[in-house]
Amino acid sequence: MPRKSEIAIVIRLNRLHILSPYYIKRDYGSLEDTILRFAAPALFARLVALLICEQVQSMLDDIRAAFSFLTVLPLGTSTKGEPGRSFAWFPLVGLCIGALLVALAQVSPFNHDLTAFLILLLWVVITGGLHLDGFGDCCDGVLPSVAPEKRLSIMRDPRVGAWGAAGLILLLLGKWLALRTVAPEWLPLAPVMGRWAMVWAAYHFPVVQDESMSARFRAGLSTRELLIASAWVVILLTRVEIAVLWLLIFCFTTLFGGWAARRLGGGLNGDVYGAICELSELICLLFIGCVYG
């Protein structure tokens, strides 16, 4: 941060119009004013540099927080700023995960079936099974016909129920079958779209009233974060089919999120975000397999 003395000098320079051509031609008649005149450009440049460095450091902290939360990489967490600002970089994390999957697919010496299994294994390991856990909890809590309060208590239970076990088996089986038909160059689309869907769900839907942890995690999430996250998806829009896929993910997230919010009493929690990510990834793989497979 700039020192108070530097800020005070810049404010005084602004009042004196040091950078004004009219003022430069004047006779200052004061040694202090003469020193300020020649020091103004250097002080102003240093202040701008300090402000830029602060913004860059804040951005790097947000990126580190996103990678630390969504992957098993031991990058640590930042205590500065609001956690919701890291949502802007969720698709970037997905892009990096996709790059790892592409690299594995390119170097794998095995057949399609075993390569697809190894890709899925790496996918689960690099994310720490975070979204799979949320998907299982979401199946256990949202699918049974019980009261909203009961659903939330079920989702907090660390044990996996019948709905969760069946859902996880079908999800992983569906991903493996889809990966067998997807060309390596299209793999990054699924993790990028899945994490963008999480951003849209967190931005568009409220949090369940008694989910204080989810509310704290969303603190700082605004339109700015959504636009930055969407910009990462725009980079991948190289074909009309990909734009159609993005629209499909948007519609699915909006409809599924609205349905889940009604089942939970008017809002979403972290488990539903994870389920949206996993299901969006599955939809992407199935779509790519059908169009380009």
Place of tokens 């769900």: 201
The pLDDT confidence band at residue 208, using thresholds 50, 70 and 90, is confident
Residue 265 corresponds to which tokens in the numbers above?
A: 């009493």
Which stretches of the chain are DSSP H helices?
A: 4-16, 21-24, 31-70, 90-107, 112-127, 130-142, 148-156, 162-179, 189-204, 212-218, 223-235, 240-263, 270-292
Asked if 53 and 61 count as a contact pair (C-beta separation under 8 A), the reply is no
Q: Interior CA angle at 128 toward 125 and 130, to 5°?
A: 135
Q: Which pLDDT score is estimated for 58? A: 79
Instruction: Output DSSP code: residue 84.
Output: G
Q: Rounded distance, CA 139 to CA 276, Å?
A: 11
Rounded average pLDDT over 221-239? 92
Q: Is the pLDDT of residue 127 over 60?
A: yes
The single-letter code of the amino acid at 261 is: A
Q: Is the pLDDT of residue 115 over 70?
A: yes
pLDDT in tens, 49-58: 776 776 777 7
pLDDT in tens, 58-73: 788 889 999 999 999 8
Q: Rounded distance, CA 82 to CA 84, Å?
A: 6
Q: Interior CA angle at 169 toward 166 and 175, to 5°?
A: 135
Kindly state the helix (H) or strand (E) to which residue 81 belongs, with its residue range. Answer: none
Q: Which pLDDT score is estimated for 217? A: 77
Query: If we measure between CA atoms, which residue out of 277, 273, 247 comes closest to residue 261?
Result: 273
Asked if 245 and 193 count as a contact pair (C-beta separation under 8 A), the reply is yes
Asked if 119 and 101 count as a contact pair (C-beta separation under 8 A), the reply is yes
What's the number of CA atoms in the CB half-sphere (13 Å) around residue 272?
31
Identify which has the larger pLDDT, 135 or 210: 135
17 sits in the region (left: phi over 0; alpha: psi -120 to 50; else beta) called: left
Q: Give the distance, in angstroms, between the CA of residue 139 and the centroid of all CA atoms in the same chain.
A: 23
Which string of b and e fits 236-253 if b means at least 16 CB within 10 Å? beeeeebeebbeebbeeb
